[in-house]
Amino acid sequence: MQQETVSVSSLLNEKNTLLIEHADMQKGELIKQLVNLACAGLSNIDTADILDRVLKREESITTTLDTGLSIPHCRVDGISACRAAMAVVKDGIKDPVADNIDIKVMFLFVSPSNPSFFQAHLQILAQLSEKFKDSFINRLTQASTAEEALKIVKQ
Amino acid sequence: MPDTSQTAVPKSPLGVKKVMIITTAVLTFIPFWKAAAVVLCDFGSSAFYAGGIAIRAFGPAFPWYILIVMLAAGPLLLVYIESCSLFVRGGIYKVVKEGLGNRMAKIAVSAIIFDFVLTGPISAVSAGHYLSGFVQSVFSYMDLSFPVPDNTFAVIFAVLCTLYFWRQNIKGISESADKSAKIVIVTMIVAIVLALWAIGTLFIRGGAKLPPLKPEFSPEALGWSVNFSWFKAVGLLGALMAVGHSVLALSGLETLAQVYREVEYPKIENLKKAALTVFLFALLFTGGLMFLASMIIPPELVANKYYENLLAGLAMELAGPEILKILMQGALVLCGAAMLAGAVNTAIVGSNAVLNRVAEDGILTDRFRKIHKKYGTTSRMINFIVGIQLIVILISHGKVYVLGEAYAFGVLWSIVLQTLSTILLRIKRPQARTFLVPFNIRYKNFSLPVGASVIFLFFFSVASINLITKRVATVSGIAFTVFLFTLFYISERLNAKKANMMFEEGHREEINTTAVSTLDEALRTELAHKKRVVIGVKDPENMYHLEQFLKNMKDDSFDIIVLYAKPSPDTMFGKGSLKAAPLDDKKIFSNVILIAEQYGHAVIPLMVESNDPYYALSQVASEADADRIILGVSGTYGAQDQMERMAMAWGAVKDKKLEHPVTVDILWEGREVNFKFTV
């Protein structure tokens, strides 16, 4: 079993990190935006298909934690490494399943569907929920630019 | 129940909201020697009265026939082991129901309850006689001429003893296996001293003779046989008659089936060891002491003075100073009273347990099954049994022999039906068993149960002969069995609709929950091992993962926390999941306990209220410093999605560096998904 460790901060850069002051959109729309950012530059990938998979996964066990972190994700064929995108939503957006929770940070990632990558996929989820706790999310929402938010993540 | 939701809420509103400890009768399991002690406290107690009753029936040959009965206990124990290997909560009702059907099961239960309503009184009255005999010996030694009214004393003691255990059972206080073990160990020491002293006495006095082999029956002991010219109390027939009059020495052996659910892993191996211990102890204790008593006590004293307290007579007729003999008698009386009192309790516990099994099938009406408001026990069943026992004690006027005359019908016919059922189950349930009564002849695909059939024929012969020779037992036994069977029949009819529903529901354990403030409080006193596993349960019909873990666990090196995270109203999984959630925690934990019993591994059942079961599992695992988390596959979500949520929850809960890896396993039939949180 391959035990590849992926650092979540290494998945982010200026191009795939967003900072949104007022999100006048639904969760699904934000997911779509992040899928496009995460898969940018991948010529052999159908982003519509990935969006479908992510949204389908969202219909299963919720990927939102009470801290305000949402981790939409899916596993796809045709990629050999993880791709991600992050949005910090200062005012938060409602989660349609857990309506008492505002999503403040959405970290979307896709990982290779290769079974040997499943452990790394799970490690990313564990890392994200460990890292993005209340105080960390508060720091992110206080950032004034996407670059600043990215810097906080990479610290 | 105090509302502890405020104190229990962690920093984050996600996860555990309320913590509840589950308490129930069986959560820990006992080693074989403690199981043997529990059985011996009941079965061994018959040594204190069986000899006295047998000598009144057929004279000084009694030790031989009690020895035969003790030897027959061995094969009978094998039958019990086989039936236990089929049903963890075997008991006579289940075995006979499966083997011979509902009607015969009701007859068997009626018969065994007749046994219980006599075992209690016979033990209590006998203990009273031992005590009064001891008081008389002390008075006599002190030259006090204060006559103790023997029978009255025995009746008063028996009533008080029965009422004491009635109260204990109403309160739901069970006697511990530790206490039984202490009683048996002390009794064993006293018995060894007594036996050595008795052997010494035989050497000093010389000329000791073994008792005669031929029974000399009293007119009462011949019963109706005098009306049949062909029925001669000689030869094999006479021997079987004598065995029939000695069979009350088997009283309490059925406790082995009752105690099986409490036996630890590996269950059947431990049950075999317990059975062997019981057999050897009873053979030497009951069988051996009967011979010594008959060889030391002059026959006229056995028949006239010591028939109610034979072993006390053995102590008093030893060679040596009077004061030492009184001390020996005192020690013996102490052990005897403790064992006999234990048998009084077991008779109440046993009959209540059997009636509960019957009630679970919906045979008894609600009126009968009503639970005690304060203690949660089936008080009406206990009252019913104890009420009859008190009447029996009063009718007996404190005469053990009168009770002995009525005895044996229930024990013998319940043995006959259970043995026959075990044989028939070989055909009805031909699948492999972990234990078979030995001596089976295999021919092609068919196995002829020779050993079990011989055991059945032996007890069937004795039971049939007893029908003729033990008039009181036959009349009272049949009358009581018909009475109880009719009661069951009428009750079942009245309860017919509910019975079907209860049958569907199956067994329900009496579960009590106590709210505590924190997880630490719930776990602190429970954790005893370095390795810990948290097993999440939710669906009472999906416990494959729990079963697999317990089945494959070869030792008791783990603390096994079985967690049910009951969804709280603010669940993270949408309001729909609340409706879908099985809120019947009794059913969930009843099944958990059944599985734990099946494999004999202790579990720590825990219930928490939580808006995210994965978060709750992670919190409990983190608090317990667990090495493993095991859960079953969800019927709604796939195993991979579950594992993803588990990873998220674990990360959210983790607030310190791990000192050891934690493995998460999701198990379902033939498949599993694993994940390891590394250090």
Which tens digits make up the pLDDT trace of B571-619? 655 555 445 545 577 888 888 988 998 888 988 888 888 888 898 999 9
Quick one: closest CA in A to B648, which residue?
A126
Residue of B nearest to A121 (CA): B644
Contact call for A133 and B652, based on CB within 8 A: yes
Q: Do B648 and A127 touch (CB under 8 A)?
A: no
User: For residue B531, what is the enclosing H or E element?
Assistant: strand B531-537
- B77 and B162 fall within a common domain: yes
User: Looking at the complex, does the CB of residue A113 fall below 8 Å from at least one CB of chain B?
Assistant: no
| CATH 3.40.930.10 correct for A9-154 | yes
Last residue of a domain, one of B409, B439, B469: B439
Does the structure show a pLDDT above 90 at A66? no
For residue B572, the enclosing domain spans 5-24+511-677
H or E segment to which residue B455 belongs = helix B450-469
- Determine the residue of chain A that is closest to B644 in CA distance: A122
Could you tell me if B83 and B165 lie in one domain? yes
Q: Do A61 and B647 touch (CB under 8 A)?
A: no
Can you tell me the ipTM of this complex?
0.94
Is residue B381 within 8 Å of B369, Cβ to Cβ? yes
pLDDT of A1 strictly over 80: no
CB pairs under 8 A between A and B: 73
Q: What's the rounded mean pLDDT across residues A95-108?
A: 86
B183 in the same domain as B43:
yes
Q: What is the pLDDT of residue B664?
A: 95
Put simply, the answer to whether B648 touches A125 (Cβ < 8 Å) is yes
Q: Are residues B84 and B19 in the same domain?
A: no
Residue of A nearest to B647 (CA): A126
For residue B21, the model assigns a pLDDT of 67
Answer yes or no: do B572 and A128 touch at CB < 8 A: no
B573 falls within a domain? yes
A119 vs B642, B654, B675: nearest CB: B675
My answer on whether B366 and B389 are in the same domain is: yes
Candidates B9, B17, B619, B648, partner chain A, best to mutate (most A CBs within 10 A):
B648
Q: Is the pLDDT of residue A37 over 90?
A: yes
Domains of chain B: total = 2
Q: Is residue B453 one of the residues assigned to a domain?
A: no
Task: Note whether B387 and B518 are same-domain residues.
Answer: no
Residue contact A125–B647, C-beta within 8 A:
yes
Q: What is the CATH classification number for the domain harbouring B142?
A: 1.20.1740.10
pLDDT of residue B283: 94
CATH number at residue B630: 3.40.50.620
CA distance B450 to chain A (A): 54
| Residue A68 pLDDT greater than 50, yes or no | yes
Q: Do B66 and B132 have their domain in common?
A: yes
Q: Are residues B13 and B90 in the same domain?
A: no
Q: Helices H, strands E: what count in chain B?
A: 29, 10
pLDDT computed for residue B25 by the predictor: 47
CA A89 to chain centre: 12
**Distance from chain centroid for Cα B53:** 26
Query: Closest partner residue to A61 among B12, B645, B652, by Cβ?
Result: B645
Return the axis-axis angle of helices B62-86 and B235-246, rounded to nearest 10°. Answer: 70
Whether residue B132 sits in one domain with residue B9: no
Give residue-wise pLDDT tens across range B331-349.
999 999 999 999 999 999 9
Domain edges within chain A: 9-154
Which of A61, A67, A94 should we substitute to test contact with B (largest number of B Cβ atoms within 10 Å)?
A61
Please identify among residues 9-68 of chain B the ones whose CB lies closer than 8 Å to any CB of chain A: 12-14
Contact A130 B570 (CB under 8 A): no
Of A5, A4, A2, A71, give the one whose Cα is nearest residue A38: A71
Rounded Cα gap, residues B679 and B677, in angstroms = 7
* DSSP of B175-235: PPHHHHHHHHHHHHHHHHHHHHHHHHHHHHH----PPPSS----HHHHGGGGG-TT--SSH
Q: Do B248 and B286 sit in the same domain of this protein?
A: yes
B-proximal residues of A, 30-89, CB under 8 Å: 57, 60-67, 71, 73
Final residue belonging to a domain, choices B417, B439, B461: B439
Instruction: Using 70 as the pLDDT threshold, list the residues of chain B that sit under it.
Output: 1-18, 20-27, 90, 497-512, 570-583, 679
pLDDT at B26: 47
Q: Is residue B486 part of a domain?
A: no
Chain A residues lying within 8 Å of B645, measured CB to CB: 61-63
Helix (H) or strand (E) holding A126: helix A118-131
Is B671 part of a structural domain of the chain? yes
Which residue among A61, A64, A128 places its CB closest to the CB of B651? A128
pLDDT of residue B433: 81
Do the Cβ atoms of B637 and A122 come within 8 Å?
A: no
**Residue after which a domain boundary falls, among B382, B405, B439:** B439
